[in-house]
């Protein structure tokens, strides 16, 4: 487990752990599998919600205040951003796909 049930760790340490060990797993290939059911979106978001609550000094803040203070985006917002970037790259031909192969 990355964190125990107690509030622990400095902000920088915890954010580094989250970004390198947890978030990358939740976002792997997200433009291909991005959830659309509210329950699935909330389940993924709850991982970040619970992790940020355990960061020192963040437990008393609500989720959106924690994200703002930690300079993080919601996982849903990040998935939307990745999807837009993927679509743009496909549109301009930045990588081969079945419609723009030469």
> What pLDDT score was predicted for residue 101?
54
Question: Which residues lie below 8 Å from residue 66, measured CB to CB, with a gap of 6+?
Answer: 52, 53, 55, 58, 72
**pLDDT by 10s per residue, the chain, length 102:** 555 545 567 899 999 999 999 999 998 988 788 888 999 999 999 999 999 999 999 999 999 999 999 999 999 999 999 999 988 988 888 876 666 555
> What pLDDT score was predicted for residue 4?
55
Distance CA 48, CA 21 (A): 12
Q: How many other CB atoms sit within 10 Å of the CB of residue 62?
A: 10
From 102, 15, 26, 99, select the one nearest 57 (Cα to Cα).
15
């Amino acid at each position: 487990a990355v964190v125990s049930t107690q509030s622990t760790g400095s902000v920088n340490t915890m954010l580094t752990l989250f970004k390198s060990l947890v978030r990358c797993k939740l976002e792997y290939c997200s433009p291909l599998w991005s959830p659309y059911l509210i329950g699935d979106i909330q389940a993924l978001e709850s991982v970040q919600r619970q992790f940020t609550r355990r960061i020192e000094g963040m437990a008393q803040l609500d989720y959106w205040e924690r994200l703002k203070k930690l300079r993080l985006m919601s996982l849903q917002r990040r998935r939307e951003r990745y999807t837009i970037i993927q679509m743009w790259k496909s549109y301009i031909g930045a990588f081969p796909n079945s419609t723009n192969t030469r």
